[in-house]
């Protein structure tokens, strides 16, 4: 799509949307939001960028093929599920550190699970959308 | 007993799959990881089975959320047996795939998806929550979709469309049934549902919901009017994939059906009659379908449909012994059907075709291999000391006690037709003189000994298990009777999941 | 409201099945999507529709207070939507591939696996 407005806007929107995605990811445990929605917003940011600047440029921006996010995310989620088993709790128990970190809030296994989900969603959505839109061109 | 050992086969399988994605393009590494991973899962499954056998029921509440609220994993004798069988089939197919699946398909990601499929199967067998069961089913079908169409040519994707469409329809049915169930009871935990079902007065609606489940699982397990997708798709992918599909995918439908119809719904006479009629028709259509085909793998596909009839018939009779027969048959069928498709792949490697008109003379060229294959064929038919014989005794005897005569007729006919089909196949493929075709390459003879070993060893392993089932039938008898007893008396299952105090109105049979 | 949703669910199921029975591959896809949405609406309907707050515990409270909507059907629908998203995109890619291979939209031309003996 050759539109100067969209092109300029998407350059500013990409970091803003990514920041918003991380915000949604972090507030997700007790409030509406979470890894899934955050991942969707992040992938929408990249899709918007690809609309404005072409798919090749977005791929270049990402550096890795989007499919590479999937195993990383899966591994993070799996490990966060396994972590409580090390201290003798059942699989996928929510274990929290007692110290509150500024901005992020409490850190615990559900947060890492959500981060894993976040990456898987980005990977899956971008792979699907890129594959479909590439074969159209 | 609360135990987190349950989750280990699932985690090990998932870990293998994730590790495999990291080595996406590295074919040799993927082969090694896959076999090692399957081996570890098998060891863990054996551990799970022996633990479950000892304790009776193992329960794990994911994240420590108590029973009706959290996601529950339950391992009773039935599920741990299925996990064990999945472990054996998984190892065999994984070994076979190292040689049997082309380099190109492995680069497209065959192994990770194969392990996701096994992950879904293990999860489905251990799920104690009906919606969780649905999610595992989706894991299974989406990986099977990919495997079905992976790197496919025309017939493979054409078969794939039918497979995808009907399986999606089946999951919509399943989801619809879950929705109604949730609307009725407000619960999704199977043990909790079992308790709450007894308090609902609208018996008609319960029956209809049960039949919706039956349609959903029926499509997946290919029973009579819903089986058309199976023979038109199962012969198109490579043999290793067809082996895991033929061995386990239809059986997971039957597993879910047995689970739902013993724990949540108790079939009334009407439902039992539907089961019996559909079982008879499934037996007949499968057997006659196999009769009309000349392509070996298509015949095997129809035989899968045919033998689902025995399983459904056993459930339809709904006595302890009939269920024990069903379980025994299920154990035998998983092993034998997996082996059959592996054997068909081996024959394809040797002769380059599946058409019986172009095959022949295998006994002359490979006498030892032929004997190995003969064991598979004859245990499929149910020649006495082999594994297919014993469950049929149970099932035939129970048709007398429950007076289901048409099922008896269908079973006998199906057995005879299977015998005829297999005898004809044996004659055509092994004993007939090899027809003169201009170009016949023997890929198998050209392989080095290691590749040969990787193709033959899994078949030998499964044949050994099949022989064990046949010759140590009294042990499998004990196992299947215990499972049948557990299924018909679900009170300990419910107590194990919900904790003994929660029981308000125990359901008894 | 319930009646309206009930009719909507019925219409979605009926049109979904109808579309699946057409011979065109694209209509098959539309049918699958409609059926999936119908099932999701059914969960929403049967989960019980309450006029209440979303099931979120406020900062000051420890438990839910007042009338709130049942969160379970919502999470079920979310899961089902995610799953159908994956399945449908797979189906789209598959159909595109089939179309590229056989150059037709007609499902009746997909009989090679059946007619071979």
Separation between Cα atoms, residue B316 and residue B404, nearest integer Å: 10
Separation between Cα atoms, residue B490 and residue B262, nearest integer Å: 8
Does residue B111 contact residue B24 with C-beta atoms inside 8 Å?
A: no
For A92, name the nearest residue in chain B, comparing CA atoms only. B63
pLDDT of residue C113: 63
pLDDT of residue B505: 47
Model confidence pLDDT, tens digit, residues B135-158: 999 999 999 999 988 877 788 888
Separation between Cα atoms, residue A74 and residue A117, nearest integer Å: 7
- Of the candidates B432, B428, B430, the residue with the CA atom closest to the CA atom of residue B370: B430
CA B364, B368, B371, B372 torsion-angle sign: negative
Report yes or no on B133 lying in a domain.
yes
Of B11, B18, B62, the CB nearest to A71: B18
CB contact under 8 A, C91 and B180: no
**How many beta-carbon pairs under 8 angstroms link A with C?**
18
Of B131, B154, B164, the CB nearest to C112: B154
CB contact under 8 A, B159 and C102: no
Cβ–Cβ contacts within 10 Å for residue B127, how many? 24
CB contact under 8 A, A91 and B60: yes
**In the complex, which subunits touch A with 3 or more CB pairs below 8 angstroms?**
B, C
Cβ–Cβ contacts within 10 Å for residue B503, how many? 14
For A134, name the nearest residue in chain C, comparing CA atoms only. C93
Of A70, A78, A94, the CB nearest to B14: A78
CB contact under 8 A, A74 and B14: yes
In angstroms, the separation between the Cα of residue A105 and the nearest Cα of chain C is 14
CB contact under 8 A, A31 and C56: yes
Torsional class of A88: left (φ above 0), alpha (ψ -120 to 50), beta (otherwise): left
Separation between Cα atoms, residue B192 and residue B218, nearest integer Å: 24
CB contact under 8 A, A32 and C56: yes
**In the complex, which subunits touch B with 3 or more CB pairs below 8 angstroms?**
A, C
Report yes or no on B509 lying in a domain.
no
| Number of structural domains found in chain B | 1
B107 touches chain C (CB under 8 A): no
In angstroms, the separation between the Cα of residue A73 and the nearest Cα of chain B is 10
Separation between Cα atoms, residue B217 and residue C38, nearest integer Å: 19
Separation between Cα atoms, residue B242 and residue B147, nearest integer Å: 9
In angstroms, the separation between the Cα of residue B60 and the nearest Cα of chain C is 21
Of B135, B165, B236, the CB nearest to C113: B236
Residues facing residue C24 across a β-bridge: C106
Separation between Cα atoms, residue B5 and residue B60, nearest integer Å: 8
For B137, name the nearest residue in chain C, comparing CA atoms only. C83
Give the tokens for residue A19: 């920041």
Of A70, A82, A91, the CB nearest to B62: A91
CB contact under 8 A, A93 and B60: no
C19 touches chain B (CB under 8 A): no
ipTM value = 0.92
pLDDT of residue A22: 92
pLDDT of residue B153: 78
For A28, name the nearest residue in chain C, comparing CA atoms only. C56
Q: Tell me the chain B residues in contact with residue C117 when contact means C-beta distances shorter than 8 Å.
A: 292-295, 298, 355
Q: Tell me the chain A residues in contact with residue C56 when contact means C-beta distances shorter than 8 Å.
A: 30-32
Of A75, A82, A90, the CB nearest to B62: A90
* Domains of chain A, residue spans: 4-136
Helix or strand (DSSP H, E) at A106:
strand A105-108
CB contact under 8 A, C56 and A30: yes
Q: Tell me the chain C residues in contact with residue B141 when contact means C-beta distances shorter than 8 Å.
A: 87
Helix or strand (DSSP H, E) at B414:
helix B405-426
Interface residue of B63, B67, B129, B145 to substitute, partner A, most A CBs within 10 Å: B63
Cβ–Cβ contacts within 10 Å for residue B101, how many? 26
For B181, name the nearest residue in chain C, comparing CA atoms only. C46
**In the complex, which subunits touch C with 3 or more CB pairs below 8 angstroms?**
A, B
pLDDT of residue B500: 66
Report yes or no on B507 lying in a domain.
no
Residues 56-75 of B with CB under 8 A from A: 60-64
| Distance (Å) of CA B150 to CA B110, B144, B146 | 8, 10, 6
Does residue B90 contact residue B44 with C-beta atoms inside 8 Å?
A: no
Give the tokens for residue B236: 């198109």
Please tell me the total number of residues recorded for chain A in this structure: 137
pLDDT of residue B509: 39
Report yes or no on B506 lying in a domain.
no
CB contact under 8 A, C94 and B157: yes
Interface residue of B131, B147, B161, B162 to substitute, partner C, most C CBs within 10 Å: B161
> How confident is residue A100, by pLDDT bands cut at 50, 70 and 90?
confident
Q: Is residue A87 scored above 50 in pLDDT?
A: yes
Q: Tell me the chain B residues in contact with residue C46 when contact means C-beta distances shorter than 8 Å.
A: 179-180, 182-183
- Of the candidates B4, B31, B2, the residue with the CA atom closest to the CA atom of residue B19: B31
Does residue B71 contact residue B62 with C-beta atoms inside 8 Å?
A: yes
Class of domain C2-112: mainly alpha
Separation between Cα atoms, residue B370 and residue B282, nearest integer Å: 30
Give the tokens for residue B199: 């308090």
Cβ–Cβ contacts within 10 Å for residue B492, how many? 13
User: pTM, whole model, 2 decimals?
Assistant: 0.92
For B184, name the nearest residue in chain C, comparing CA atoms only. C46
Q: What share of chain C is helix, strand, coil (3-state, %, to 5)?
A: 70, 5, 30
CB contact under 8 A, B64 and A93: yes
Separation between Cα atoms, residue B246 and residue B235, nearest integer Å: 10
CB contact under 8 A, A78 and B11: yes
CB contact under 8 A, B63 and A91: yes
Query: From chain C, which residues contact A within 8 Å (Cβ)?
Result: 54, 56-57, 78, 82, 86, 89, 92-93, 96
Q: Tell me the chain A residues in contact with residue C78 when contact means C-beta distances shorter than 8 Å.
A: 36
B126 touches chain A (CB under 8 A): no
Calculate the dihedral angle through the C-alpha atoms of C52, C56, C61, C66, rounding to the nearest 10 degrees: 10
Question: Which residue ranges in chain B fall short of pLDDT 50?
Answer: 502-509
Does residue B480 contact residue B324 with C-beta atoms inside 8 Å?
A: yes
Write the secondary structure of B43-72 as one string of H (helix), E (strand) and C (coil).
Answer: HHHHHHHHHHHHHCCEEEEHHHCCCCCCCE
Separation between Cα atoms, residue B252 and residue B137, nearest integer Å: 9
Q: Is residue A4 scored above 90 in pLDDT?
A: no
Cβ–Cβ contacts within 10 Å for residue B344, how many? 23
Residue range(s) defining the domain that contains residue B240: 4-501
Of B7, B15, B21, the CB nearest to A70: B21
Which residue did the predictor score with more confidence, B339 or A105?
B339
In angstroms, the separation between the Cα of residue A31 and the nearest Cα of chain C is 7
Question: Which residue ranges in chain C fall short of pLDDT 50?
Answer: none
pLDDT of residue C115: 66
């Amino acid at each position: 799509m050759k539109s100067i407005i969209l092109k300029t806007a998407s350059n500013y929107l990409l970091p803003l949307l990514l920041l918003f995605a991380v915000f949604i990811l972090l507030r997700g445990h007790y409030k509406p939001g979470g890894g899934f929605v955050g991942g969707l917003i992040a992938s929408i940011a990249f899709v918007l960028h690809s609309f404005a600047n072409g798919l090749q440029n977005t791929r270049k921006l990402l550096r890795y093929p989007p499919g590479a996010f999937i195993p990383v995310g899966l591994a993070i989620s799996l490990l966060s599920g396994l972590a409580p088993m090390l201290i003798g709790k059942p699989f996928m128990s929510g274990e929290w550190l007692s110290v509150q970190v500024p901005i992020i809030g409490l850190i615990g296994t559900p947060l890492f699970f959500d981060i894993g989900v976040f990456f898987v969603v980005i990977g899956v959505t971008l792979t699907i959308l890129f594959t479909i839109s590439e074969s159209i061109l | 007993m609360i135990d987190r050992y349950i989750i280990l086969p699932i985690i090990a399988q998932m870990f293998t799959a994730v590790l495999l994605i990291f080595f996406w393009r590295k074919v040799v590494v993927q082969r090694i990881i896959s076999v090692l991973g399957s081996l570890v899962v098998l060891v863990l499954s054996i551990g799970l089975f022996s633990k479950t056998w000892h304790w009776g029921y193992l329960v794990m509440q994911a994240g420590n959320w108590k029973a009706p609220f959290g996601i529950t994993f339950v391992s009773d004798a039935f599920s741990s047996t299925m996990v064990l069988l999945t472990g054996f089939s998984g190892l065999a197919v994984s070994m076979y795939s190292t040689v049997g699946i082309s380099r190109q398909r492995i680069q497209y990601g065959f192994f990770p998806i194969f392990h996701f499929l096994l992950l879904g199967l293990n999860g489905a067998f251990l799920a104690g929550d009906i919606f969780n069961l649905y999610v595992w089913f989706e894991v299974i079908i989406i990986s099977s979709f990919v495997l079905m169409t992976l790197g496919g040519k025309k017939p493979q994707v054409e078969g794939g469309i039918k497979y995808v469409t009907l399986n999606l329809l089946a999951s919509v049915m399943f989801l619809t049934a879950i929705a109604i169930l949730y609307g009725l009871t407000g619960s999704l935990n199977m043990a909790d549902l079992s308790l709450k079902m007894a308090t609902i007065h609208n018996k008609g609606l319960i029956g209809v919901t049960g039949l919706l489940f039956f349609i959903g699982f029926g499509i997946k397990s290919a029973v009579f009017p819903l089986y058309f997708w199976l023979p038109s798709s199962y012969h198109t992918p490579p043999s290793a994939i067809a082996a895991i599909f033929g061995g386990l995918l239809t059986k997971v439908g039957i597993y879910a059906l047995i689970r739902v119809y013993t724990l949540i719904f108790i079939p009334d006479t009407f439902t039992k009659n539907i089961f019996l009629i559909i079982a008879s028709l499934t037996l007949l259509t499968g057997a006659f379908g196999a009769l009309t085909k000349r392509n070996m793998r298509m015949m095997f596909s129809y035989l899968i449909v045919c033998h689902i009839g025995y399983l459904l018939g056993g459930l339809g009779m709904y006595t302890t012994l009939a269920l024990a027969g069903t379980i025994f048959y299920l154990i035998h069928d998983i092993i034998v059907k997996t082996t059959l498709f592996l054997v068909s792949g081996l024959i394809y490697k040797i002769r380059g075709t599946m058409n019986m008109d172009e095959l022949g003379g295998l006994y002359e060229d490979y006498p030892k291999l032929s004997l190995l294959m003969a064991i598979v064929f004859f245990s499929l038919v149910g020649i006495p000391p082999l594994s297919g014989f014993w469950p049929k005794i149970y099932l035939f005897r129970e048709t007398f006690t429950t007076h289901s005569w048409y099922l008896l007729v269908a079973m006998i006919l199906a057995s005879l037709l299977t015998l005829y089909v297999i005898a004809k196949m044996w004659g055509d493929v092994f004993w007939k003189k090899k027809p003169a075709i201009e170009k016949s390459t023997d890929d198998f003879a050209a392989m080095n000994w290691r590749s040969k070993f990787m193709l033959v060893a899994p078949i030998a392993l499964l044949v050994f298990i099949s022989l064990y089932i046949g010759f140590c039938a009294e042990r499998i008898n004990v196992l299947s009777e215990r499972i049948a007893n557990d299924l018909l008396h679900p009170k300990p299952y419910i107590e194990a999941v919900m904790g003994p105090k929660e029981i308000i109105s125990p359901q008894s049979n | 409201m319930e009646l309206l949703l009930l009719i909507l669910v019925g219409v979605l199921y009926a049109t979904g099945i109808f579309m699946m029975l057409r011979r065109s591959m694209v209509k098959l896809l539309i049918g699958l999507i409609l059926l999936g949405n119908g099932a999701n609406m059914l969960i929403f309907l049967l989960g019980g529709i309450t006029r209440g707050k979303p099931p979120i515990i406020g900062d000051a409270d420890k438990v839910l207070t007042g009338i709130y909507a049942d969160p379970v059907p919502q999470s079920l629908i979310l899961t089902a939507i995610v799953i159908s998203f994956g399945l449908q995109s797979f189906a789209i890619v598959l159909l595109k591939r089939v179309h590229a291979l056989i150059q037709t939209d007609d499902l009746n031309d997909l009989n090679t696996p059946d007619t071979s003996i």
